[in-house]
């Protein structure tokens, strides 16, 4: 699966990595590493994603779900953002950029989740086989609106 996802996400992922003070980024689906743009080996990035997911499972309760983790170390900060089955981890050096990076991470994960869902379930398209599905007006005025469904 990673081989088919990498070309579609690589450009957006590179832009995110070069924004602000980001010095590394990695993307995971469940516990599998999809993209690694950190200065570390793949197995270390995979362990980092696993640690973020373990922390998410540990702190989650029935009333709340933890989606973002932010850790500070000597000279580097780690921002881990989870959305559904995807996890994005950013390494950055300036603490005041964390809000911007969090919103950019969330947007990136929403787009990545849509792409991954379409690759995992290629037969689950709308009835007409396109990207949109017609909505019929209830008063039958002959006008229709197309909408794009999100998972």
Tell me the C-alpha distance between 19 and 114, whole Å. 23
Distances (CA, A) of 118 to 53, 69, 131: 23, 27, 11
Per-residue pLDDT of the chain (151 residues; tens, 9 = 90+): 455 555 667 777 777 877 778 999 999 888 999 889 999 999 999 999 999 999 999 998 888 889 999 999 999 999 999 998 889 999 999 999 999 999 989 988 888 777 777 776 776 654 445 555 555 555 556 665 666 666 5
* CATH number for domain 2-126, candidates 3.40.50.12780, 3.30.450.30, 3.90.190.20, 3.40.50.300: 3.30.450.30
pTM (2 decimals)?
0.72
Domain ranges of the chain: 2-126
Distances (CA, A) of 103 to 67, 92, 107: 12, 14, 6
- Residue 115 contacts by C-beta under 8 Å, 6 or more apart in sequence? 5, 8, 9
**Do 79 and 70 meet the contact criterion of CB atoms below 8 Å apart?**
yes
| DSSP codes, 125-142 | --TTSSS-EEEE-TT--S
């Amino acid at each position: 699966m990673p081989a088919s996802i990498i070309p579609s996400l690589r450009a957006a992922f590179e832009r995110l990595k070069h924004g602000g003070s980001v010095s590394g980024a990695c993307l995971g689906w469940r516990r599998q590493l999809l993209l690694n743009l950190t200065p570390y080996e793949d197995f270390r990035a995979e362990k980092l994603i696993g640690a973020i997911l373990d922390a998410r499972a540990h702190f989650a309760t029935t009333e709340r779900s933890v989606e973002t983790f932010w850790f500070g170390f000597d000279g580097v900060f780690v921002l881990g953002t989870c959305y559904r089955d995807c996890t994005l981890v950013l390494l950055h050096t300036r603490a005041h950029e964390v809000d911007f990076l969090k919103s950019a991470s969330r947007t990136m994960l929403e787009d990545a989740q849509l792409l991954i869902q379409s690759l995992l379930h290629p037969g689950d398209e709308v009835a007409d086989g396109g990207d949109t599905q017609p909505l019929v007006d209830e008063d039958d005025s002959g006008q229709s609106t197309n909408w794009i469904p999100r998972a």
